[in-house]
Every structure is written in structure tokens, then in C-alpha cells.
Structure 1
Amino acid sequence: MSNFVTRRRVLRGGFALAGLTLAGCSTTTTSRAPVGAPEQPRVDASFLQNYGPRSQEQFPLPAIDPRVLAPKFRRQRISYRSSEAPGTVIVDTRDFYLYLVEPSGTAMRYGVGLGRQGFEWSGRARIAWKRPWPTWTPPDEMIAREPELEKYSARNGGMQPGLGNPLGARALYIFQGNVDTLYRLHGTNEPASIGKAVSSGCVRLINQDVIDLFDRVRPGAAIVVT
């Protein structure tokens, strides 16, 4: 029996889907450079390579404004010792980082946004599959809270892919055994949300970062959320 749980409710009698169906991967924030922000700073070649525009994508992505992505949350390879096998994804909810464990004591580190209080989760699961430019379907519990989302329900085919889709450019789907937890690792076009708790349970990365992670992670990889 896995210990994958939500903190919103105590699971009784073993694993319960009811505690997991709250995730919807939406947000209530918007991404803008801070009011009165200084003139855009100079950026180095690695920033331009990692966060420049992606014109070849199905839906071309704009470049990321460096004023809204703090240097500590930018993608980088770091020294990292872990007892987890290479290829494991580790999400550190305290410091808003996602680590992809690599051989020889290194990891690729990404800044992430996390769930609001009451939608947090932790434990061990697996990345069952992944999709580029996915459709977004809010769960029934989210629609009950926000009836205007009914037009994106499974009955109506969900929200089609695009820059305005809450799942962004890529999504990696988290399962526990053969059960879809409804939690995702996914992209966002709101870089100001990285390093904050704003979404309904899911782990969000800059679109450019989730593309990089998508290309590195294999289906079936373990994910550990601490």
C-alpha cells in the first residue's frame, strides 16, 4: 500500500480516490513583470538558450522575461546525492524545486509552482505516460466549485490544446498503480507563479522547462513528492 496521500483529508481504510480528485491544475494568478519593474536586465547565453522563444512548437512559445523568473528557479545541473535511482523525479515542496536524478551524483533542477494550501500532496507514485500539448479536463469537484468550467468537462471534450490551456506545452501523468491520481507535472505560461503555491494540486514548470523534462523522463519513472 502506497503512502501517496493528500493533506486535505485523512485517508480511512486505505487508499481513497476522493482525496485525490481535487486536482485540476488551474491557477488564479496572472503572469506579468512586476509593476514598476526596472529595465530588462542583460541575460547570458544559457538563459537565451533555455528560455528563448520556441517557434517550432505546435503553438509557438514566446521567450521568458528574466524579470519574472528568479535566477534560483532557472534550470540548471547541480551536484545532488540521492538514494533514488537515476531517472527518478523528486519534488521538494518546501523549496519549490523538482530534481531529475542523474548518474554520478548530479541532478537537473527546475523551479516549480505547487498547490495552494489544502491541495498539497506527498508520497511516491509513477509517471505512467506523457503528452505534448494535452487537452485539459477539469474534474467534477472543480466544476462544482467553478460552474463556468462545465464547458471544459469530459462530456464536452475538455479544453483544446493551446497557449491558454492550463496544462501548457507538455503534461506528465501521475499514477499510483493503475489508478490515475489526476495530478500532473505540466507546463505553464505564467512564469511569475514559479516558486509559489497557486495551482489546484499539480506541479507546474515553465513551458520551456517542462519540454526539457518531458524529453528526459521515461514513462514508468518513479516520482517522489516530499
Structure 2
Amino acid sequence: MTVDYYSLLMKAIAGKDAVARDQIYKDAFSLITRSHLTREAASSHAAALEDAVRRIEDDIAAEEANSAAAINEVLLTDRNWKPLVIGAFAVAAVIALSALVYGFVATKGPAIVSASVKTSSPNAQRGREDVVMADLKPGVDGGSSGAVLPFALQRQVVFYRTTVVPGSIVVDRENRFLYLIDANNSARRYGIGVAQECLKGGSLSRVMNKLEWPDWRPSGANTKEADALLAAAGRPGSPLGARALLLDKPGLLIHGTNSPKTIGHLVASGCIRLVNDDVEDLYRRVSVETRVVFAS
């Protein structure tokens, strides 16, 4: 069945601001995820919905840009320019807010078409890479759910075209996503945080071991810090979270965290982190020897 998402969404967002539109988009994607459609049908509907959202946000951005151009033209006539300058600044602020919302939506389904899994580098849209997010102290439980995260970083099934074998893991360190590849051009996507030590190096790896509530004593840590980490291990509040996938290269692992708000950012410890609910979901779906591809 073909659904005209563009027309449906246009009616739903009429008169809504950027924040309200983003919530409507989120609800629409959530409805598809909770539906009883086949995996192939759900992927097709998600792709169509994403295309409609992009068209709508492009149209809105174009209309706002035209409004700004009209204001500039009037300014050149020197007619009552002070109120118009104030109006121009207001329009610019609306455009900036719309661009931020569109940026979240646009990250839902990056298409990867080559075997080397090439990804985009929207550094101009993010300033988060250069800021290391502080962790909660060991033993402090910041929660296990990704509900506190922006929608784009929450666990979801997305359209994802790649030649990587289904069942493999793709880690997009730059864009802060981990993908568990499925068939039919789809993948299960998780938001991640990345430690500085794990930003570079390696392109292919595999899962060597799986651990529940892993224990960790960081190298170079003083005795007091190490004891605090060990005391927090095996329960909520552990810096390594509820589960860990150890890879075949020293220092490389995928793990949970006691600091869910650090997801989507550069982090101070560990390696590739997910919120606990997500790492438990990933843990259940993969096995030892699962292939891991690090996108460059």
C-alpha cells in the first residue's frame, strides 16, 4: 500500500513551529516501528517517511530564505529601516532553528553505497567532537534508557544501503552511530559515545568475547580511582555498563555506560559506549566472531 506521507505531514504540521514539527516526525517514525508490518515493508515506509520530511523541511527553509531576501531588498530603499532590521534578525533566528531540526532528521538514514562503507563528514553541523563530555563518578547510576537522548541517537531501525554482510556491526565513529546490519537495505542503529583513544586506527575487527557487567581497572589509574571502578563493577553505576563486547585488538571494546547523556559525544574513558538498554539489546543479537567494520 502506498502512503502519501508528504500530504499527511503537511496537514499535520500546518501552523506548527520547528519543535512541534520535530515531535510530529518523531511520532510518525515511532508508529512505523511499533507497527506489525514485515521488516521489508517497515523499511520501505521509513524511507518514504524520511523523504517526505526532507522535502517538507527543504520547502520551509526555501520559504524562509525568500522572506529574508525580500526584507533585504526593502532595506536597500532606506524606508523605515530600523524595524525591518529587527525583523530580519528574527527571520534569521527562525531559519537557524529550522536548520537544527532538519539536521536531526537528516541523520536518520545515511546511505552507504561502497564496500568500504564511506560516510559523510558534516563537521560544520557539529561542534561536539572537540569537547570531551565528563562522565558521572563510578558508582553513580545515571540511568539505562536512551529516552533522554535526541531522537536521532535513540535505538531505531533505519534504511541503510551497504555491501557489508548482514549480521555484521558497522561503527561510524565520526557521526556517532553503530549499525547492526540487517537484510533488505536496513539496519538497527544505536547512538554511541567515542573515547579519544578509539577515534583512530583499525577498519576491520571481530568480537572475541562477550561479558556481562564487566570489571575494569584502567591502565595508569591510581589505586583510589581503580578501587572506585572495581567497587562499581557488576551493578548499575559501573563505568563500563551492563555488557561488553571485546574485540580482537587491544583496547577495542563496545560497552555500556553509567552516563547516558554522554552518548553522541567524545568521552573521557572506555572505547565505544552505548546506553545500557542498547548494549544489552546488541549483546543479545550478536555472537562471538561477529564482524566489526569501522567506517572511515
TM-score (normalised: structure 2): 0.48
Change (3 A) 1:101 1:114: same
1:174 alignment partner AA: L
Equivalent in the alignment of 2:199: 120
Change (3 A) 1:84 1:65: closer
Root mean square deviation of aligned Cα: 2.7
Equivalent in the alignment of 1:187: 256
CA distance in 1 between counterparts of 2:177 and 2:146 reads 20
Q: Which has the higher contact order (CA 8 A, sep 6+)?
A: 1
1:128-177 CA distance string (max 9 Å, x none): 111111112223xx32xx55334379xxx78631212111100000114x
Local SS of the residue matching 1:223 = strand
Equivalent in the alignment of 1:30: 136
User: Are the equivalent residues in 1 in contact too, given 2:134–2:262 (CA < 8 A)?
Assistant: no
CA distance in 1 between counterparts of 2:136 and 2:231 reads 22
Equivalent in the alignment of 1:133: 213
Change (3 A) 1:183 1:107: same
1:35-74 CA distance string (max 9 Å, x none): xxxxxxxxxxxxxxxxxxxxxxxxx9956373x3111100
CA distance in 2 between counterparts of 1:160 and 1:95 reads 29
User: Are the equivalent residues in 1 in contact too, given 2:217–2:226 (CA < 8 A)?
Assistant: no
In the alignment of these two chains, the number of paired residues is: 159
Aligned pair 1:75/2:181, yes or no? Answer: no
CA distance in 1 between counterparts of 2:190 and 2:273 reads 10
Structure with the higher helix share, 1 or 2:
2
CA distance in 2 between counterparts of 1:109 and 1:210 reads 11
Instruction: Name which one, 1 or 2, has greater alpha-carbon Rg.
Output: 2
User: Are the equivalent residues in 2 in contact too, given 1:86–1:101 (CA < 8 A)?
Assistant: yes
User: Are the equivalent residues in 2 in contact too, given 1:98–1:110 (CA < 8 A)?
Assistant: yes
Residue of 167, 171, 185 corresponding to 1:105: 185
Equivalent in the alignment of 1:17: none
Residue of 142, 148, 166 corresponding to 1:86: 166
CA distance in 1 between counterparts of 2:146 and 2:157 reads 21
Aligned pair 1:164/2:240, yes or no? Answer: no
Aligned pair 1:216/2:289, yes or no? Answer: no
User: Are the equivalent residues in 1 in contact too, given 2:144–2:260 (CA < 8 A)?
Assistant: no
Equivalent in the alignment of 1:148: 224
CA distance in 1 between counterparts of 2:144 and 2:158 reads 24
- State the percentage of identical aligned residues: 33
1:28 alignment partner AA: A
Equivalent in the alignment of 2:145: 64
TM-score (normalised: structure 1): 0.62
Change (3 A) 1:166 1:82: same
CA distance in 2 between counterparts of 1:90 and 1:100 reads 7
CA distance in 1 between counterparts of 2:287 and 2:211 reads 12
2:259 alignment partner AA: E
Structure 1 position 106, deviation (Å): 0.9
User: Are the equivalent residues in 2 in contact too, given 1:82–1:105 (CA < 8 A)?
Assistant: yes
Local SS of the residue matching 1:121 = coil
CA distance in 2 between counterparts of 1:212 and 1:165 reads 18
Equivalent in the alignment of 1:56: none
2:199 alignment partner AA: E
Change (3 A) 1:200 1:30: closer
1:176-212 CA distance string (max 9 Å, x none): 4xxxx12210011211101000133500001000000
Residue of 230, 248, 262 corresponding to 1:175: 248
Structure 2: runs of 5 or more not aligned:
1-132
